[in-house]
Structure formats: C-alpha cells, structure tokens
Structure 1
Amino acid sequence: MVNRRDDDADVIVVGAGPAGATAAHYCAQAGLSVIVLEKARFPRDKICGDGLTPRAVSELVTMGVPIREKDGWIRNQGLRVIGGGHRLELPWPELASYPSYGMARARTSFDQILAEHARATGAKILEGMNVTGPVLDERTGRVVGVTARPVDEQGRRAGEEQTFRAPVVVAADGVSARLATALGIEKRNDRPMGVAVRTYFESPRHDDSWMESHLELWEGKPNESALLPGYGWIFALGDGTVNVGLGSVSSSAAATKIDYKQLFATWMRNVPEEWGFTEENQRGKVRGAALPMAFNRKPLYDRGLMLVGDAGGMVSPFNGEGIAYAMQAARVAADTIAQSRARTTASSREAALRRYPEIMRQDLGGYYTLGKYFVKIIEHPQIMRLCTRYGLPRPLLMKFTVKLLSDCYEPRGGDLVDRVISGLTKIVPAA
C-alpha cells in the first residue's frame, strides 16, 4: 500500500456527483484544501430524470454556476400533469425564495459542469479513483481518511492502493453508500424507496417548455385496458432529445418483483406515433436505479464521516427529486466543516460537525415525513386513480399539490397554501 501523505487535505470528498461537487466547491471556497475521489471519468452518465425543479435552480444560482440558455440549459415553466382524463399545465409558483422556472440538462454534462466548477474554485478532483474503504484511527475508531485504488475506464484495477487522509470525510458515494455501510450505518427499511428506469429519444418534443408527468400508465388504450403500476415522465432537453422514464415508489424498502423495463416497453407501445419514441430514435439503453428516500440512512454524521445526497437517502418521496436536496445538504455540510476547522479544540470541532444532521432534520425532516404519508396513499394504483380523477380539476387543491410536489413554498410568510404546508412540516414528527 502506498501512503500518499502529500495528498493530505482538510476534507476528502468521495464521489463527484452533484452532492460531492457541491460540497467540494463550498469547502474550497471557504479556504479549505479538498480532495475529491471519483471512480469514473468525465463525462459519465448517471440514471436520472435530468429535470431540475426551481429549488435545484436556486442551489445552482447560490453556487455561482452559469445557467444561461446559450450554454445549453433549457428552461421550463412548470409541470404538465396528465391523468384521470385530465391534462393540466401548472406553472411553477411565483415565490421570493425560488425562481419561477425549472431547467433540464443531461447528467453526462450536468455533473461535469459542477465538477469543473468545484475544480475552478480550488478543489482537487482525482478521476479514476475507486475508494475501497475508510481508514479508522486505531484508538478512537474515528474516520481519518480512505483507501483507494486507480481504475481504468472499464473499472479495472490500474495501480496500487493508496491512502488519503483528512480529519473529515464526506461520503457522496451514491445509493451504494459503501463508506456508511463499512461503518455499520445501515439503511432504514421503514422509509420509502423508489425505482426508476429511463432512456433518451430523438424527438420533435425536445424543446417542450413543460416538464410532463403521466400519473397513469395503461397497458393499452386509457380506460379500456389494465392500469399499470407507477408513473411516467417526459423531460425535454433542448438538444434534439428528450429524457423519458417511469418509476414507482413503495412505502418501505421491500424488494419489488415488477419488471420495470418491460413496463416501460408496454408504455412506449401506446404513446402517440408523432412523438417519435421508437427503437430507431432511441439513444442509449433503458437503465434503472434505486431512489433512496426520506433520510433512509442515519445518522447523517458519525465519527468524522458525513453522508450527503443518495448516500444519506435524501430523495424526496413526493417527486423522486434528489439533486436539489443533495446540493442543499452538501452546502450545509461544507459550512459545518468550515466552522469546525475554525475551532481550537477537538471537542468544539466535533460539536460543530454534529450540527449537520440537526440542521438537515430541521430543514427537511417534516417535509420528508409528509412525503412518507403521501406515498402510503398513492402507492396503490386504484387510490392514485381516484385522486387524479377527482383531485386534478380543483384549482386550490392543485395549487397546494404543485407546491408540495415541487417543495417550492415560502417557509415563512407567503400565501395561505404556503402557511399550511409550512405548518404541516412543523407539526409532524421529523423523519
């Protein structure tokens, strides 16, 4: 084993996705030395809907990432909801806290943009480095670094294992959460878990200004065939392609026997021909991923290791959105790390780090608990059908729903709907 003491840093970040790149950016911006270890090489793909809610756009603005349309970002004005015989276009709410538009960008370029932004801030990003485990202090059991080995573009070993040391390690290693698992931090089976599959098509719908959500999927013609489990989406990317996918969510992490790729094929057989969702226009395989929700892995901080993004189960049960919360958590984690490094004693540094899970609980715990209740209702297709048929036409209910689904409401003040949602997140037990 090669001991790379010259690569020691204030912070080691494992994973350079949205969570890892954001954490690295803010840590570097605070004057800390940062090493990011990323197994893949950019550009690389991740399974995602590629849609960004106004909440995610706000995080990009705060981070200072240029989001000009001429740079390849496509903006959308809201959510088009189709279900129960209804077709509604629901604009993103006008709020002081968030912009009134969302965006979309393929993960192959989105993740690279964030990583390069972190690198420009001062973070050292090492691609092709597969982290193999945490390094623990023999006396305290505290995480004091990680071991990693170089890998080639196919993931094969390409060098000797190395040790990287830092007083704090940020685990942004995705749904596998290998560092957390190595510390015995197991996932919570009582939290919702989603599954999603997606692919890309060249389509005339590539410049659609609405994010489209299909709340019902049918085996054949609507209302004349069986109702399939799950929901579908179509997100225009503005580059000649659309991201098309479907998913489902369960109130627990129990394994499902649903063949999602077959389900996707069934849906595609019944979409309008003019959309161009054909094998000839398909770009890439149908790929799937798990969506860990509602803080399904706790504690978010333990013995020098911080969990951010999917590693901490931060996907919203309401909409399957994970990017906004990954970036938010990374921003909070970086701030607590910077505050910790400014302390003068070990106990005060540890106290500062322990603020991270408490801040996240206060910010998102109540919202995630509401999401758990929401999933218990809509995970049954028959109940979902009743909700869409009789709930969609009601303007006040839909205003409430779009704010709740997008997590775009004023946390303080705002209109009646904002105050109701904010009040509910405070009175329910935090996840």
Structure 2
Amino acid sequence: MTPAPDESADVIVVGAGPGGSATAAYLAMSGLDVLLLEKTHFPREKVCGDGLTPRAVRELITLGVPTPEADGWIKNKGLRIIGGGMRLQLDWPDVASFPPYGLVRTRQDFDDILAKHAVKHGARLREGMNVSAPVKDDATGAIVGVEAKEMGADNRPTGKVLTFRAPLVIAADGNSSRLSLSMGRDKRDDRPMGVAVRAYYTSPRHDDDYLESWLELWSTDKNGKRVLLPGYGWIFGVGDGTSNVGLGILNTSSAFGKTDYKDVMRRWVATMPEEWTYNEETITGPIRGAALPMGFNRQPHYADGLLLVGDAGGMVNPFNGEGIAYAMESGRLAAEVIAQAFGRADDAGRERVLQSYPQVMKDALGGYFTIGRYFAQLIGHPEIMRFAVRYGLPRKTMMQLLLKIMANLGDEHGGKLDDRVMSMLSRVVPAA
C-alpha cells in the first residue's frame, strides 16, 4: 500500500547541485510544477576545483544567471600549464560557440545561487529532505515518487519521514546516487573514475587571471631525493583572499586506490614557494576529497520513470575531470525532452519521448566521452605522460589545440579546420 503523499508535482528533482537546479529552472520556465529536494541546507560546501571553463560559462549565460564581477564572480583568461620544467600560458580559444573567458566561484556560493535561480523561475525548493527510498508502482515497478527523511538545520534527522509523488523523478544526487542504486542502476566498471582532493589557503595568489594546471607533482623523500608523485594538480585563485589548491588521480593509474591522496597533497604543497603561503598555518579547513564519475559510468540515463543528470549519470569529462558544465548541459537537454514529453496527450506518448533521452545524451556527448576514455587510459601510463610533457609542452600551437580538445571548446558552427575535425570525430566515434 503506497502511503499518501505529503506533496506531489509533475516532476521531482532529487539534488540541488548544478545539474538538479539547472534542470528544475528550465522545467519551471516551461510551465511544469517542479519539486526540488535537497538533503542539506544552503549554503553548503561541495568538494570541487571551483574553476568554470567557457563551456560552463555558456551554460550560465543560457540559463540566465548573471555573473558580474561586483557580485564575486572572478573572470579568468585561460589556463597556465606547468610541467617538464616549463610554464606555458594559454588563453581560452575565441570561438563563436563559447565565451572567451572562464570564471571561478566556490561551490558553497555557486550551488546556492543556482538553487535560488530555480526558485525564482517557479521551482519549489525543499531543503533538508534526505531522499532515502523510491516509491514504486506495485504493478510496473516504475518509480512514482520518493520517501525522504527530514533533516534539521543541524543536518540531523528530525525523525519525520515524508512522501513525495510525481510521474517523473530525476536523480541529480551526485556520484553515489543512492536513488539510482535503489532502482538497480549500478556503476559501469569499464568507465574511468577519478578521485580529487582540495583545500583552501589564504594567499596573495587569490586573484590570479589564469587557472593553473600542474602536469607533474614533485616532492622529496626522507633522503632529500626528488620524487614524482602520482596525479595532477591545480591552483585556482578564488578572489576572496584564498586559493583553491587540489589534485586528482585517475583509476587508470597504478597508484589509484593505493595512495594517501591527502598526504600527496601535503607533500606537493610543501615544495611550493614560501611567498605563495600554502602551508599548515594558512589552510582554512581540512583537505576534502570526492569521486569523479566519468564517461557515462551509470546507464541507462532513463528507464522506469527515473532520469539521470550530472554526476548521477557519470557526466564528467574524462579529459579534464570537469563536471559542472556537463551537469548543467545535461539538465538543459533533459528539460527539453521532458517538456516535450509532458506536451503529449497520454502516458504512452510521454513515455515514448522520455525514452529518447539516452540517445539525446549520446548524440551530444557520447562520441567525445569515448575519445576521452581512450585518453584517460593512455595518460594512466607514467611513461606516456612523461613523453607527452617533454615533447608536447614546448610546442605552443599543439598545446593550444590540446586545450581546445580537453576543455571541449571546438567551434560548433564550423570554425577552423581543427574545429571541424573535432566535430567529425565526436560524431563518428561510437558512443557507448
């Protein structure tokens, strides 16, 4: 016997991260009744590099989110790459499809801004709703709602359990996606997975005009010998007196799962110039970590009334670990499909449209993510990475092309020869 609902809606979105809030905003704009459930209370912190590439900025512009510098949005001009004893500064490509700048904004602020934007356009946000189980139709097994434990302002359970019902539920609940797991959608083992850790340090480098990527992480052992640590690193100036410093590692590396990543972070940071002030005295909080689910590592993206967006569907770029752009992009594409589905006169017609969503995502990103998986496998071999750093970095033209490929910033409207090649490869490479 299904319990009576405490609330109902056309669509329930579980998780108010970038993907969930973008989806909810677009759906509300299309006139649907949207219930957005977030397990914690805003503002809340998420582990992230805080750097937004032009692809993510395009999604903000499309969604209608203002990003003035006066409100704390920090613009950047491009990417500075450090490795092989070299320091190479590359501007973001200036193409018709994307703005020629990136942004930095902490996730503590960013997610709150997007959730409020969704509410502004009509979504109903319920904070402190920790979704614990799906509500299923007894006859079909399809999801028709969710149960949620109410969380107090201290993020502890109040003891109250609520039921929410809708003909469509969207899982935007991140990498672990308990809702997807409860509906039998496990992660795929044939997809790359990353782990990232980061911390904030007070530093004079807080207003850097470039995002910074370190292709090699060097430290010293107890005998003072220089040693290469596993993974790659980043430094992003946050503009508030702090820098976001972090590192990531892929499961294609032999060191994955066998390394204390927080210790690697401490050892790497200890080698940096004193004037940058990245040390135990200036760290503003603990080193935190999170998983990065890449290359569509959970599928199908729609089945049995449950649709996946963002990290829940493994929509993280295998080339560079970027997730925010693809979370928002998947939310936009999902909303287009859903709006069309709800325009159908009967349940069968609506279901037929919803079942097109997995192919929509594969058409948009599947081929590119397949190429990214091959790339992730290659750079998991240290000798290949060393070769690439040694012979690639001195060639600026080659690195500018690689930046365009890794950040997925090819001009979608024709552009130069390299843009057309990128577009062709993404179309002809099979999406899986």
For Structure 1 versus Structure 2, the TM-score category normalised by the shorter chain is over 0.9
The 1:250/1:412 distance shift into structure 2, 3 A limit, reads farther
Q: Distance in 2 between matches of 1:253 and 1:38?
A: 36
Q: Structure 2 matches for 1:214-293, cutoff 5 A?
A: 214-220=214-220, 225-251=226-252, 256-293=257-294
Displacement of 1:153? 3.9
Task: Deviation per CA, 1:150-172: give whole Å up to 9, x if none.
Answer: 01244422032111000100100
Instruction: Using structure 2 for the length normalisation, give the TM-score.
Output: 0.96
Matches within 5 A, 1:178-217: 178-217=178-217
Provide the rounded CA distance (Å) in 2 between the counterparts of 1:254 and 1:80.
26
Within the alignment, does 1:378 sit opposite 2:379 as a pair?
yes
Summarize deviations over 1:51-102 as a string: whole Å, max 9, x none.
0000000000000001011111000000000001211001000010100000
Q: Secondary structure at the match of 1:335?
A: helix
Distance 1:254 1:412, change over 3 A: farther
2:54 counterpart letter in structure 1: P
Determine helix, strand or coil for the equivalent of 1:297.
coil
Where does residue 135 of structure 2 map in the other structure?
A: 135
Q: Deviations over 1:367-405 (max 9, x none)?
A: 101111111111122321210110111133112101011
Aligned CA-pair RMSD: 1.8
Alignment of 1:352-431 (within 5 A): 352-431=353-432
The runs of 5 or more residues in structure 1 that have no matched partner are none
Percent of aligned pairs with the same amino acid: 57
Q: Secondary structure at the match of 1:186?
A: coil
- Within a 5 Å distance, the mapping from 1:147-162 to structure 2 comes to 147-162=147-162
Opposite residue 376 of structure 1, the aligned amino acid is: Q
1:152-198 Cα shifts (integer Å, max 9, x gaps): 24442203211100010010001111111111111001100000000
| Structure 2 equivalent of residue 171 of structure 1 | 171
Taking the aligned partners of 1:4 and 1:112, their CA distance within structure 2 comes to: 31
Secondary structure of the 2:236 match is: strand
Pairing 1:61–2:38 present:
no
CA contact (8 A) 2:54 2:102 kept: yes
**CA displacement, residues 292-321 of structure 1 (integer Å, 9 cap, x when unaligned):** 000000000011101111100111111110
Counterpart-to-counterpart distance in 2, 1:253 and 1:365: 26
TM-score normalised by L of structure 1: 0.97
The 3-state SS of whatever aligns with 1:89 is: strand
CA contact (8 A) 2:205 2:237 kept: yes
- Alignment partners' CA distance in 1, 2:250 and 2:385: 12
- SS of alignment partner, residue 132 of structure 1: strand
Query: What stretches of structure 2 of length at least 5 have no aligned partner?
Result: none
User: Which secondary structure does the structure 2 equivalent of 1:36 belong to?
Assistant: strand
Deviations 1:33-53 (A, max 9, x none): 111111100000000000000
Q: For residues 33 and 254 of structure 1, what CA distance do their matches in structure 2 show?
A: 47
How far did residue 224 of structure 1 move? 6.1
Residue identity opposite 1:219 in structure 2: S
Measure how far apart 1:280 and its partner are: 1.5
Where 1:424 maps in the other structure, the secondary structure is helix
For residues 355 and 86 of structure 1, what CA distance do their matches in structure 2 show? 47
What is the deviation of 1:255? 6.2
Whole-Å separation in 2 of the counterparts to 1:255 and 1:158:
38
Counterpart in 1 of 2:92?
92
C-alpha distance 254-165 of structure 1, shift in aligned 2 (>3 A) = farther
Secondary structure at 1:340 match in 2: helix
Q: CA deviation at 1:253?
A: 12
Matched pairs, number? 430
CA contact (8 A) 1:150 1:157 kept: yes
CA distance in 2, matches of 1:220, 1:407: 35
Alignment of 1:103-122 (within 5 A): 103-122=103-122
Q: Do the aligned partners of residues 353 and 2 (structure 1) sit closer, same or farther apart at CA in structure 2, a change above 3 Å counting?
A: closer
Q: 1:133-164 CA deviation, whole Å, 9 max, x = no partner? A: 11111111111110111012444220321110
Q: Could you give the per-residue CA deviations for residues 341-380 of structure 1, whole angstroms, max 9, x where no partner exists?
A: 1101221101111121111101100110111111111112
